[in-house]
Amino acid sequence: MEFKDYYKILGVDASADKKAIKVAYRKLARKYHPDVSEHKDAEEKFKEVTEAYEVLYDEKKRAEYDEVRQYGSNDGGFRPPPGWRPGAERQEDFSSNSDFSDFFSSMFGHGGQQSDFGSRRRQAPKGRDIETDLPIFLEDTLSAESKTISYTIPQYTADGRVTEIIKNLSVKIPAGVEAGERIRLKGQGEPGGPNGVDGDLYLRIRLVPHPLFDVEGHNLIITVPLAPWEAALGSKLAMPTLDGKITMSIPPNSQTGQRLRIRGKGLVKKLPVGERGDLFAVLKVVMPKTTNDDIKKKWQELADQAAFDPRSEWSDKL
Amino acid sequence: MNNTQLHIMKFDELCRVAELPEHYVLEIVEQGIVEPDGDSPDQWVFTTQMVSITKKAVRLHQDLDIDWPGIALAISLLDDLEQLRAENHQLKQRLNRFTAC
Q: Do B5 and A129 touch (CB under 8 A)?
A: no
CA distance A188 to chain B (A): 7
pLDDT tier at A234, thresholds 50, 70, 90: very high
Task: Supply the pTM of this predicted model.
Answer: 0.73
A130-207 and A6-108 share a CATH fold: no
Residue A179: which of A148, A204, A146, A211 has the closest Cα?
A204
How much is the pLDDT for B16?
A: 83
Q: Name the DSSP letter for residue A11.
A: T
Quick: pLDDT tens for A241-280: 999 999 999 999 999 999 999 999 999 998 888 899 999 9
- Give residue limits of the domains in chain A: 6-108, 130-207, 213-306
Give, in degrees to the nearest 5, the angle at Cα A282 between A277 and A285.
165
- Is residue A110 within 8 A of residue A128, CB to CB? The reply is no
C-alpha distances in Å from residue B99, one per residue of A157, A256, B95: 58, 11, 6
- Class for the domain spanning A6-108: mainly alpha
Check whether A118 has a pLDDT greater than 50: no
CB spacing of B3 vs A185 below 8 angstroms: yes
Where do the domains of chain B lie, and which CATH numbers do they carry? 8-99 (1.10.1660.10)
Domain A130-207 has CATH 2.60.260.20: yes
How far from chain centre, in Å, is Cα A223? 27
pLDDT digits (tens, 9 = 90+) for B11-43: 998 898 777 899 999 999 999 999 999 999 999
Cβ atoms of A285 and A228 within 8 Å: the answer is yes
What is the reported pLDDT for A75? 55
Nearest to A183 among B1, B48, B90 (CB): B48
pLDDT-derived band at A318 (thresholds 50, 70, 90) equals confident
Architecture (CATH level 2) of domain A213-306: Sandwich (2.60)
State the average pLDDT for chain A.
85
Alpha helices in chain A (DSSP H): 6-10, 18-32, 42-56, 59-69, 102-108, 228-233, 293-306
Query: Which pLDDT tens digit goes with each residue over A276-305?
Result: 999 999 999 999 988 899 999 999 999 999
**What pLDDT is attached to residue A112?**
38
Closest chain B C-alpha to A76 CA, distance in angstroms: 28
pLDDT in tens, A38-94: 888 998 999 999 999 999 999 999 998 998 887 765 555 566 665 555 544 444 333
